[in-house]
Chain A
Amino acid sequence: MSQFDPAFLRGLTRPRLARSSAGGPARRDVLRLMGAAGAGLALSACGVKGQGGKEKVSQSDVEKYWAGKAKNGRLNWANWPGYMQDDRETIKAFEKETGVKVTYKEVIQEMGPWFGKIQAPLAAGQSIGFDLMVMTNGIQLEQCRQLGYLAPLDLSKLPNFQANAGPSFKNPSYDPGNAFTVPYESGVTGIAYNTKYVKEEITSIAQLFDPKYKGKVGMMGDSQELGNFGMFLLGIDPEKSTKADWEKAAAKLREQRDKGIVRKYYSQDYVDAVSKGDVWMTMAWSGDVYSLTSPDVKFVVPREGGTIWTDNLCVPKTAENPVDALTLMDWLFVPENNAPLTEFINYMPPIPATQKLIARKAEQAGGADKKDLTRLSTSPLIFPSQADLARLRHYRRLTQAEETEYQKIFEPISKGS
Chain B
Amino acid sequence: MAGVRGRLAPYLMILPGGLWLAAFFLVPIVLMVSLSLQTGNLIDGFQQTLHWRNYTDGLSTYGDKFVRSLWYGLVATVACIVIAYPAAYWIAFRGGRAKSTYLFLLLLPYFVSFILRTVSWKLVLTDNGPILGPLRDHGVLPEGFHVLDTGVAVVSGLAYNFLPFMVLPIYVALERIDPRVVEAAYDLYASRAQAFLRVILPLSLPGVFAGVIMTFVPVSSDYVNAEVLGGPQNTMIGNVIQTEYFNNSAYPTASALSFALMAILLVGIFAYARTLGTQDVLEAAGR
Say yes or no for A416: interface residue by CB 8 A criterion: yes
Complex contacts, A417 vs chain B, CB 8 Å: 61-62, 64-65, 235
Complex contacts, A110 vs chain B, CB 8 Å: 247
Complex contacts, B45 vs chain A, CB 8 Å: 47-52
Q: Which among B29, B127, B232, B247 is the interface contact of A278 at CB below 8 angstroms?
A: B127
What's the nearest-Cβ distance from chain B to residue A403, in Å?
8
Is the beta-carbon distance between B129 and A46 smaller than 8 angstroms? Answer: no
Is the beta-carbon distance between B35 and A45 smaller than 8 angstroms? Answer: yes
**Given A264-B149, A278-B146: A30 touches B246 (CB 8 Å cut-off):** no
What's the nearest-Cβ distance from chain A to residue B214, in Å?
25
Is the beta-carbon distance between B26 and A264 smaller than 8 angstroms? Answer: no
Is the beta-carbon distance between A278 and B148 smaller than 8 angstroms? Answer: yes
Nearest A residue (CB) for B47:
A47
* Contact bitstring B243-255, A, C-beta under 8 A = 1, else 0: 1011111100000
Nearest A residue (CB) for B127:
A278
State A119–B43 Cα separation when bound (angstroms).
Answer: 12
Q: Which among A45, A115, A147, A264 is the interface contact of B30 at CB below 8 angstroms?
A: A45
Say yes or no for A215: interface residue by CB 8 A criterion: yes
Interchain pairs with CB closer than 8 A, number: 134
* Contact bitstring B139-153, A, C-beta under 8 A = 1, else 0: 000001010110000
Q: Which among A27, A34, A45 is the interface contact of B10 at CB below 8 angstroms?
A: A27
Nearest A residue (CB) for B4:
A23
Is the beta-carbon distance between B232 and A264 smaller than 8 angstroms? Answer: yes
**Given A263-B149, A276-B129, A277-B127: A51 touches B11 (CB 8 Å cut-off):** no
Question: Interface residue tally of chain B, by bracket?
Answer: 35 or more
Is the beta-carbon distance between A31 and B146 smaller than 8 angstroms? Answer: no
**Given A42-B30, A50-B43, A415-B62: A278 touches B126 (CB 8 Å cut-off):** yes
Q: Which among A34, A112, A407, A416 is the interface contact of B246 at CB below 8 angstroms?
A: A112
What's the nearest-Cβ distance from chain B to residue A137, in Å?
16
Say yes or no for B31: interface residue by CB 8 A criterion: yes
Q: Which among B7, B21, B30, B44 is the interface contact of A52 at CB below 8 angstroms?
A: B44
Say yes or no for A387: interface residue by CB 8 A criterion: no
Is the beta-carbon distance between B43 and A52 smaller than 8 angstroms? Answer: yes
Say yes or no for A39: interface residue by CB 8 A criterion: yes
Say yes or no for A116: interface residue by CB 8 A criterion: yes
Q: Which among B38, B149, B232 is the interface contact of A414 at CB below 8 angstroms?
A: B232
**Given A27-B14, A50-B45: A215 touches B144 (CB 8 Å cut-off):** yes
What's the nearest-Cβ distance from chain A to residue B44, in Å?
4
Q: Which among A31, A41, A47, A49 is the interface contact of B27 at CB below 8 angstroms?
A: A41
Complex contacts, A146 vs chain B, CB 8 Å: 43
Nearest A residue (CB) for B229:
A264
**Given A47-B40, A264-B149: A116 touches B246 (CB 8 Å cut-off):** yes
Q: Count how many chain A residues have C-beta atoms less than 8 Å from C-beta atoms of the other chain.
A: 50
* Contact bitstring B209-241, A, C-beta under 8 A = 1, else 0: 000000000000000000000011111000110
**Given A41-B31, A52-B43, A278-B127: A416 touches B232 (CB 8 Å cut-off):** yes
What's the nearest-Cβ distance from chain B to residue A216, in Å?
8
**Given A143-B249, A400-B43: A415 touches B26 (CB 8 Å cut-off):** no
Say yes or no for A38: interface residue by CB 8 A criterion: yes
State A115–B247 Cα separation when bound (angstroms).
Answer: 8
Say yes or no for A394: interface residue by CB 8 A criterion: no
State A404–B246 Cα separation when bound (angstroms).
Answer: 14
Say yes or no for A412: interface residue by CB 8 A criterion: yes
What's the nearest-Cβ distance from chain A to residue B187, in Å?
32
State A255–B61 Cα separation when bound (angstroms).
Answer: 17
Say yes or no for A411: interface residue by CB 8 A criterion: yes
Is the beta-carbon distance between A415 and B232 smaller than 8 angstroms? Answer: yes
State A227–B250 Cα separation when bound (angstroms).
Answer: 19
What's the nearest-Cβ distance from chain B to residue A33, in Å?
9
Say yes or no for B33: interface residue by CB 8 A criterion: yes
Q: Which among A37, A116, A415 is the interface contact of B235 at CB below 8 angstroms?
A: A415
Footprint of A on B, CB under 8 Å?
7, 10-11, 14, 18, 21-22, 26-27, 29-31, 33-35, 38, 40-48, 61-62, 64-65, 126-129, 144, 146, 148-149, 231-235, 239-240, 243, 245-250
**What are the nearest 7 A-B pairs in CB distance?**
A112-B247, A50-B45, A52-B43, A116-B246, A45-B34, A46-B48, A38-B26
- Contact sample, A vs B, 6 pairs, CB 8 Å cutoff: A39-B30, A215-B146, A272-B126, A400-B43, A415-B232, A416-B65
